[in-house]
A and B are shown apart, each in its own frame.
Chain A
Amino acid sequence: MTLWRHETRLLLRSRLALAALILMALLSAAAVAAGMAEVARQHAAIDAVAAAQAEDIGAVADYVDRTKDAGSAAYYSFHPTWDSPAPLAFAAIGMRDVAPYILRVRALGLEAQIYDGDTFNPELALPGRFDFSFVLVFLAPLFAIALFHDLKSGEREAGRARMLDAMPGGRRLWFRRAMVRFALLLGALIVPFLVGAILSGVGVGAMLLIVIVAALYLLFWIGLAALVARLGHGSTANAATLAGLWLMLVLVIPTFANVAINRAVPVGQGSEIALAQRERVHAAWEIPREETMRRFYASHPQWADSPPLPQAFHYKWYFAFHQLGDESVADRVRAYRQGLERRAAIANSLGWVLPSVGVQALLTRLARTDLAAQLAYQDRIRAFHRDLREFYYGYMFRDRPFAKADFAHAPRFGAPLTP
């Protein structure tokens, strides 16, 4: 036990090591704080939705209440959806800075709405976020290199190696030293994260998993440093070699793989879906309205007993062709989504051989900030949109008046469906 204390004291007496450990802890703490602030901002934005929405829908209700027309209610009412950050989101912001986490939808064609973005500054998004995953994936290896590149070669260069080797239990010495460096580095990295995780209410299991992942990732770099050290070059050559490896593993290969994956899995531009959907929607104005209704009732028999269309404009026809427009591009939507998922899947499987990519993928998965989480949010929006349609159709197709009070019965995102 005292030996461990001795090694710790010896390490902390080295100015370089102490500075590295303190800097690691500071960077980790800053990243955790930045991540938590961002998540708090997102929570606040989501919390502010209700008040803004109440004001907006109140105005629509005032207007609609004059005619009690369900179609106008459906047409003018935007309904908010949101994707609350998971407790762990602070550690890996992932795609949450470029993909919207609040989106309002109407009961109209969803394909023209679901790809909308939120306001963000692309120049700020370009370099990537400063969050815990960045500190872990990009910076921690540099600190591991700083602490481990001269583990043995440093003693050799200082002329102590032979003396140390002549001590009984020489091999355990290197193990102890490596463990002390590893434990302190991991501590500097992970303690700020654990504090943030506890404050954010992250589950013990997830916390433990991330500690293990961080430890394994550091061990990967320590192992790499050990391999490089076995080449028997000096500390300087070791540091240069390791920094070169870092550049390849963390920057060059992932960017190269991105190009390769995007080439290998062509994904039709999403804009093609929007264009096709618009053509289908607006084509309805050129064909007899009854034709549209016949097609709609064929696939939605539950509304088929609705009274025939009147001479004048009726919203149920309008909404019917919007829905048919959505359904006409369902295949394209599926293909588009599968393409995105395939790209992400290849990138994730690359993570099995490229730890930097693997750790990033795992963190964003655990934090629910990856593509899968985005798509899951879109699924929830789609489900909610289905509820919205059902709700308004119940008035439109049955010609029930839609009064001010009915606005309160509209489905709410995230709440169980009111029958």
Chain B
Amino acid sequence: MVAIRAARMPRPPRFGATPLMMQETAMPNPNSEILIDAVQLSYGSHHVLNGLSLNVAGGEVYALLGGNGAGKSTTLSALLGFVRADAGRVAVGGIDPARDPDGARRRIAYLPENVALYEHLSAVENADYLLALSGTPRARAAIVEALAAAGLQERAYDQRLAGFSKGMRQKVAIAVALLREVPVLLLDEPTSGLDPRATSDFNTLLHAVRDRGTAVLMVTHDLLSAADVADRIGFLEGGRIVEEVTAEGPARFDVRGLRDRFAGRALAA
């Protein structure tokens, strides 16, 4: 593992073990990199977000768990400034993405569900290009370092992406995200389609990112993958958090209990 430059945010305190509790609204936390407060958002007559509140601080992995149509993608879109909330407050590092999308996006690295990069460029070239695009160009040495940190085999650095597996593509994307040194990482179903080995690699990597002080928000419909990696899990339903649980002890989450409670709500895939 290589040294990665310190994130800009000070290391926040780890959340202590708090009992499971229903949260109607999260209290705005001054350390929150990601802040969503009582957000209402609808497409025409269809209400997607219905008083959603959550916050993610630096150095924390938050998994937003929900079924189809629960509002996961819309939440990410709101954070990226693609859609504007009808009411409530959205902030990324204090910046309203709807008002200053570029300002917010400068603080965000975003990995879509299917990481699609340029097939006719090599891993290094992809990283080189995407970093330049996001205004944070890096030298080849740094890129190679990050690719190694992301777990990409050395011989793949200069290969065109056309033959890469999904896991390898994701590693390239994560390397880019690491090199951008942004305080926020948004992940959309990061482990879907990864084999167990790749999933495990990914989780390790994600913890390394978190430990550098990055606020990580991942949306998923897979309770197991959320429980593996998250510090907190928010259950999204009908456009709001119906329950939030925090990791506790060596077992972290009571996966069985959570599944029993939420199975009927069609959370797990």
Chain A residues with CB under 8 Å of chain B are 2-3, 6, 9-10, 13-15, 158-160, 162-170, 173
Contact = CB atoms under 8 A, between A and B. Distances in A.
A6 B117 contact: no
Contacts of B128: 6
B137 interface: yes
A2 B82 contact: no
A2 B139 CA distance: 12
Given A14-B120, A163-B116, A168 B80 contact: no
Interface stretch (B48-56, B61-69, B106-114): B106-114
Contact of B105 (A6, A158, A160, A166): A166
Contact of A170 (B105, B116, B132): B105
B201 interface: no
A18 to B, nearest CB: 10
Contacts of A169: 102, 133-135
A255 B130 CA distance: 48
Contacts of A2: 132, 137
Contact of A160 (B82, B108, B111, B117): B117
Is chain B's binding surface mostly helix, strand, loop or mixed?
A: mixed
B55 to A, nearest CB: 20
Nearest to A157: B116
B99 to A, nearest CB: 14
Contacts of B102: 168-170
B129 interface: yes
B133 A173 contact: yes
Contacts of B110: 162-163, 166
Given A3-B133, A6-B128, A10-B121, A168 B106 contact: yes
A177 to B, nearest CB: 11
A165 B79 CA distance: 12
A168 B129 contact: no
Interface of B: 80, 82, 101-103, 105-106, 108, 110-112, 114-121, 125, 128-130, 132-135, 137, 186
Contacts of A163: 110-112, 115-116
A12 to B, nearest CB: 10
A165 B82 contact: yes
A162 B77 CA distance: 9
Contacts of B119: 158
Given A162-B112, A169-B135, 4 more contacts: A9-B125, A159-B112, A162-B110, A169-B134
A9 B186 CA distance: 29
Considering residues A2, A9, A164, A169, which has the most beta carbons from chain B within 10 angstroms of its beta carbon? A169
A2 B137 CA distance: 9
A159 B116 contact: yes
A167 B120 contact: no
B121 A167 contact: no
Contact of A6 (B108, B114, B129, B135): B129
21 contacts: A2-B137, A3-B132, A3-B133, A6-B132, A6-B133, A9-B125, A10-B118, A13-B120, A14-B120, A159-B116, A162-B110, A162-B112, A163-B110, A163-B112, A163-B116, A165-B80, A165-B82, A167-B130, A168-B105, A169-B102, A173-B133
Contacts of B132: 2-3, 6
A159 B106 contact: no
A166 B108 contact: yes
A152 to B, nearest CB: 14
Nearest to B121: A13
A159 B114 contact: yes
Nearest to A166: B110
Nearest to A176: B133
A166 B102 CA distance: 9
Given A6-B132, A159-B112, A166 B120 contact: no
Contacts of B106: 168
A158 B116 contact: yes
A160 B116 contact: yes
Contacts of A173: 133
A377 to B, nearest CB: 54
Contacts of B186: 166
Nearest to A161: B116
B121 A168 contact: no
Nearest to A13: B120
Nearest to B107: A168
Nearest to A155: B116
Contacts of A158: 116, 119
A165 B97 CA distance: 13
Q: When A and B form their complex, which 10 residue pairs have the shortest distance between CB atoms, in order from nearest?
A: A159-B116, A166-B110, A168-B105, A168-B106, A168-B102, A160-B116, A13-B120, A166-B80, A167-B134, A6-B132
